[in-house]
Amino acid sequence: MAAKVEIYTKMFCGYCSRAKRLLDSKGVDYLEYDITMGGEKAAEMRSRKPDARTVPQVFIDDVAIGGSDDLAALERAGKLDSLLGV
């Protein structure tokens, strides 16, 4: 079964684009929350991961994975597919 994937992003964020490209390459559907202008979703991200100061912030099945580098590290370690359920 496919995992629930959520990603908090901002416009013109290269790291956000990189993380989304990796998820897209896996054929994974994800919910993207653009927090460029702050607002409710930015507050939600901080409440879910209080130490988060940068984007993207990726959550898989409600578990905070981290940012683009963390996602790429999981891929390199061969652990991302099992987390994503692909």
Mean per-residue pLDDT, 10-36? 97
- Confidence (pLDDT) at 85: 92
Distance CA 6, CA 1 (A): 16
State the burial class of residue 68 (Cβ atoms within 10 Å of its Cβ: 0-12, 13-18, 19+).
buried
**Secondary structure class of 50 (helix, strand, coil):** coil
Question: Residue 1 — pLDDT band, cuts 50, 70, 90?
Answer: confident
Signed CA dihedral, 40, 45, 46, 52: sign only:
negative
Question: Residue 2 — pLDDT band, cuts 50, 70, 90?
Answer: confident
The predicted-structure confidence for 40-85, as pLDDT tens digits, reads as follows 999 999 999 999 999 999 999 999 999 999 999 999 999 999 999 9
- Confidence (pLDDT) at 84: 96
